[in-house]
Chains A and B, each alone.
Chain A
């Protein structure tokens, strides 16, 4: 009977993705010219097992590609080939590509074979060079090298702007450029002016244009031939070069990335390599988009559990069984004299249960290094792109956090890091002028504090510029022209939805999510974000999250005979209200003057249509909550205990209920609803207060 290999696919992909991560971090610590043989060995082993696995399952494209990678690593290992920055960069690119290729095979989608072919050629080129004993490895194709020779020969100036749908017609600009380069020396510059912000980027559309200088006496027909298939899908201008306009006309109008001068650092040629591809933007964009898909695709994925955790769980279950048998023995022939034994047994049962709960939760916990590990690469790539010198340090990466939280944390964290790199840390010259070390420092730190995990992103950059933020806010009409704001209100501004950081400076931070989205994501996880900064000296963004989504700290409150739970994170304070501080706006909306601010009062019994003990504001309690950046006072009858509650879904068997995030089971076995604070506030804006109720509410359901 033949074995169905497909059942092992999932494992293969998981192992391969893990392997690629190992490879990536291994490559990042590889020092050109002084590589540790063991670290190359590790890389080699990973490539080898991916190759082996893929050939077993018949993924030949992956096998062939990894084979070339493996050969190069073998050469590096045996020191036949020196480890250079170029080869490390190329291997990093190959890791990216391999990751996409694996994802494509897994999801049965196509991948960019063109890019693969190019990478393979470059890998082979290095291999060849290695054989010849050549020391200089240049993955930069000769097309860009010709720049210095500009102006020497007569040639053609080609303006090539593909229409958006070019890629979908099966054409790829890259082979055309390559063919052009075969005709003669080619200067390439990219026009990225049409490139949209990252969130609007469509990976299948072509947003790029090229300005090409082809040097040499080449018949025009030969050039036209290359573009023959795409003529109707692009704007094409082929003009002869006038001798004196050579350099200037290389640049088409719009925002242009001149490839030759992009990088001041000659041995860092990563930028150059990628620039020859479809385009740095498109290339990286697609990688990012695909990566972002991964977490969602991996939602149903399995989890690897440390065997120690598993053993601990089995131990606890063993103890539970013993306790159970003890208790049932007591139950079989029970006498009043044995009541002490029963009590002991119950105490033991309580302990076992708690331990069981903890062990099970621990299984879901993963070290945060899973998320932190991607940052060395990100920082490296971005600092090169931004021409900044940035040193990244990471601490507390063994801190454990729930897998679900970890997955949802990645995007906000990436945004914060990008933000720090882009806006926080200054350019080396600026830093020097401020008598700071030229190399900026970024620190990621995770630690436990109470039932929370705290993740800090600290940079020693410029900090927040209060004056600038205020100015922006005024320009955008978020605050009045002469409105003065307290310190913490100014912090609030950067989380304001209209206050996009993209408008503040460059396109790098603008490509991710805005700070308002960061904060919303973190709030969705039941956490909050804090800012500390010193102008000119740096800033710290601290994310505080509950360890798990399954358990939350709740405040039990009572209205009439109903018990609700308000998540403790959203409660600001609870107080008794004197009626003289309550006023009504146009006789309807109630407002309470809480020290310097006014908070609207939400009478929860009206929103939920239940009967309270009293409608008099002074006899109940006002719980001041914060949801979606706004405060409100929720009026309830009584505060009960604070306790940890296990979140249960109402949606599974019923449907989403507005204002309710879930339910939990209280000690007495009854069910209590957990309030979704933003939802309740939203709901309260729609509910007409008692006395002003229109006849639209015929279904007053839950009234006792």
Chain B
């Protein structure tokens, strides 16, 4: 791979959905995020809550001198909340949105695995109408006999931040 291609890979948003995915568990289902976006995985520790923010923002933490907001992914995806246990981890991701690149942490039930997923493994998510929100889903991937839901992480955060800003202005 020459330098130019390397640059392309890091600066372009993923052109295809194929690649390596880190998967984690939320309410028994496996979700995947593009592994190139993962900065680190750390155990859950307390976060300092920010006033007047949406419920799914757990607060902010100190990640080696940088202030990083923490999103409860269960709450973000409108799932039932659970008490954090000893497998609860924070996946720190680099997300890109309107305001540039941000570093954010996502609380998930547990991390699972890393898969190589090819294009032909990925299927588009079926339309559930309004009953299930699929706007954050990049696609569904079949890995062995399991199904992994690939998340569109930028989408998740952009609408989230927009909502937070909305909350501020009201």
CB neighbours of A669 from chain B (8 A): 62
CB neighbours of B110 from chain A (8 A): none
CB neighbours of A648 from chain B (8 A): 65-67
Give Cα A205–Cα B53 distance, bound, in whole angstroms: 46
Within 8 Å by CB of B69, from A653, A660, A673, A683, lies A653
Closest CB in chain B relative to A78 CB, distance in Å: 55
Contacting pair A562 B49 (CB below 8 A): yes
List the B residue with the shortest CB-CB distance to A662.
Answer: B67
List the B residue with the shortest CB-CB distance to A679.
Answer: B168
Contacting pair B52 A652 (CB below 8 A): no
Residue picked from A653, A657, A672, most chain B C-beta under 10 Å: A653
**Interface code A646-679, partner B: CB below 8 Å = 1, 0 otherwise?**
0011101111111110110100011111000000
- B135 in the interface (beta carbon within 8 A): no
CB neighbours of B66 from chain A (8 A): 648, 652-653
- B60 in the interface (beta carbon within 8 A): yes
- A607 in the interface (beta carbon within 8 A): yes
Query: Looking at chain B, what size class is its interface with the partner chain?
Result: 20 to 34
List the B residue with the shortest CB-CB distance to A683.
Answer: B52
Give Cα A699–Cα B166 distance, bound, in whole angstroms: 13
List the A residue with the shortest CB-CB distance to B63.
Answer: A653
Closest CB in chain A relative to B156 CB, distance in Å: 14
Contacting pair B52 A701 (CB below 8 A): yes
Closest CB in chain B relative to A230 CB, distance in Å: 46
Closest CB in chain A relative to B38 CB, distance in Å: 15
Closest CB in chain B relative to A368 CB, distance in Å: 30
Contacting pair A702 B49 (CB below 8 A): yes
- A192 in the interface (beta carbon within 8 A): no
Contacting pair B61 A609 (CB below 8 A): no
CB neighbours of B99 from chain A (8 A): 655
Contacting pair A665 B57 (CB below 8 A): no
Contacting pair B102 A660 (CB below 8 A): no
**Interface code A633-657, partner B: CB below 8 Å = 1, 0 otherwise?**
0000000000000001110111111
Give Cα A302–Cα B164 distance, bound, in whole angstroms: 35
CB neighbours of B114 from chain A (8 A): none
Closest CB in chain A relative to B65 CB, distance in Å: 7
Contacting pair A657 B67 (CB below 8 A): no
Contacting pair B168 A701 (CB below 8 A): no
Give Cα A699–Cα B51 distance, bound, in whole angstroms: 11
Contacting pair B60 A663 (CB below 8 A): yes
**Interface code B56-76, partner A: CB below 8 Å = 1, 0 otherwise?**
010111100111110000000
Instruction: Knowing A671-B67, A699-B54, say if A655 contacts B48 (CB, 8 Å).
Output: no
Contacting pair B51 A659 (CB below 8 A): yes
Closest CB in chain B relative to A397 CB, distance in Å: 35
**Residues in A371-404 with C-beta less than 8 Å from chain B:** none
- A610 in the interface (beta carbon within 8 A): yes
Within 8 Å by CB of B52, from A609, A653, A663, lies A609
Closest CB in chain B relative to A637 CB, distance in Å: 15
Closest CB in chain B relative to A631 CB, distance in Å: 22
- A533 in the interface (beta carbon within 8 A): no
Q: Which 9 A/B pairs are nearest by Cβ-Cβ distance?
A: A608-B51, A702-B49, A654-B69, A671-B48, A653-B102, A665-B62, A648-B67, A658-B168, A663-B67
Question: What residues of chain B have their CB less than 8 Å away from a CB belonging to chain A?
Answer: 46-55, 57, 59-62, 65-69, 99, 102-104, 161, 164-165, 167-168
